[in-house]
């Protein structure tokens, strides 16, 4: 999934359309506010970020993305209007992976997107996480337990993925909440417990691999 943050509707639709025709999933968002709302539900492979936006501008959004652990790793391409002074230093030192100047040709645009995805390793082989009887295909969002396919909700999947990525480490309820539901989610830590319970049930025999560390949080497995 690629998020396209752009307030000019024509450009936004063109970006989404172009990406879709070459086989990417893409979603248009018209402000930083919408972006952070979408990020609470999904982690994209790439964010295209316009600079002049209503509300927070692209630089401010970039710095928020890079400040948060849950979004820091997402590659960002800044999109800047020609003639407008683009502060390369501010953009690239701020953590952007590349920048594109509007108006741009579609071939150039596609080439830049592919180059960043290639460089950041977000495209290519599917990422697989394994522990004992549990196997997760991150790209395909598939989970199997002893070879049996397990149907998880998006949040259950993210909880399992985060635990597997941090194998052997106890994650607190607050860490899980912050990482999966986002820093501005006004939820309670009980939300985490509810998801863990249903995740264990769905994992059947392997549910016991999701350990409760009393008074602290949850963990899967031992450190590799």
Torsional class of 51: left (φ above 0), alpha (ψ -120 to 50), beta (otherwise): alpha
161 membership: H or E segment, kind and range? helix 154-165
Chain-centroid distance, C-alpha 127: 14
Residue (5 or 210) nearer to Ca ion, CB: 5
CB of 51 to Ca ion, least distance (A): 7
Nearest to Ca ion of 7, 142 (CB atom): 7
Complex with Ca ion: residue 52 or 111, whichever CB lies closer:
52
How many Cβ atoms from other residues are within 10 Å of residue 106's Cβ? 13
Residue facing Ca ion at closest CB distance: 52
Q: Which helix (DSSP H) or strand (DSSP E) does residue 118 occupy?
A: helix 106-119
User: Rounded to an integer, what distance in angstroms lies between the CA atom of residue 127 and that of residue 165?
Assistant: 11
Nearer to Ca ion, 50 or 145 (CB): 50
Rounded Cα–Cα distance for residues 167 and 165 (Å): 6
71 is written with which tokens? 């979004």
For Ca ion, the closer of residues 50 and 158 by Cβ is 50
Q: Is the peptide bond before 29 cis (omega within 30 degrees of 0)?
A: no
What's the Cα-to-Cα distance from 207 to each of 80, 157, 190, 196, rounded to whole Å?
48, 13, 19, 9
User: In whole angstroms, how close is the CB of 25 to Ca ion at the nearest point?
Assistant: 23
Pick the closer one to Ca ion by CB: 7 or 34.
7
The contact set with Ca ion (CB under 5 A) reads 7, 50, 52
Q: What are phi and psi of 204, to 5 degrees?
A: 55, -125
Q: How far is the CB of 107 from Ca ion (least distance, A)?
A: 22
| In the complex, least distance from residue 5 CB atom to Ca ion, rounded to whole angstroms | 9
At its nearest, how many Å lie between Ca ion and the CB of residue 9? Answer: 10
Give the shortest CB-12-to-Ca ion separation in angstroms: 9
């Amino acid at each position: 999934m690629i998020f396209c943050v752009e307030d000019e509707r024509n450009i936004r639709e063109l970006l989404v359309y172009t990406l879709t025709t070459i086989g990417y999933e893409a979603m248009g968002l018209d402000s930083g506010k919408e972006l952070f709302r979408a990020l609470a539900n999904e982690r994209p492979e790439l964010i295209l970020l316009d600079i002049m936006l209503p509300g927070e501008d692209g630089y401010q959004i970039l710095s928020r993305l890079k400040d948060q652990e849950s979004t820091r790793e997402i590659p960002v391409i800044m999109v800047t209007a020609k003639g407008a002074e683009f502060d390369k230093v501010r953009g690239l030192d701020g953590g952007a992976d590349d920048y594109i100047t509007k108006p741009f040709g579609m071939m150039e645009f596609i080439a830049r997107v592919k180059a960043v995805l290639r460089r950041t390793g977000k495209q290519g082989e599917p990422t697989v996480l394994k522990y004992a009887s549990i196997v997760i295909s991150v790209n395909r969002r598939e989970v199997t337990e002893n070879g049996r396919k397990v149907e998880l909700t998006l949040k259950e999947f993210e909880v399992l993925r985060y635990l597997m990525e941090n194998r052997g480490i106890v994650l607190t309820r607050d860490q899980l909440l912050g990482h999966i539901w986002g820093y501005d989610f006004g939820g309670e830590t009980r939300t985490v417990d509810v998801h863990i319970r249903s995740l264990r049930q769905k994992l059947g025999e392997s549910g016991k691999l999701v350990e409760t560390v009393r008074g602290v949080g949850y963990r899967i497995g031992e450190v590799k």
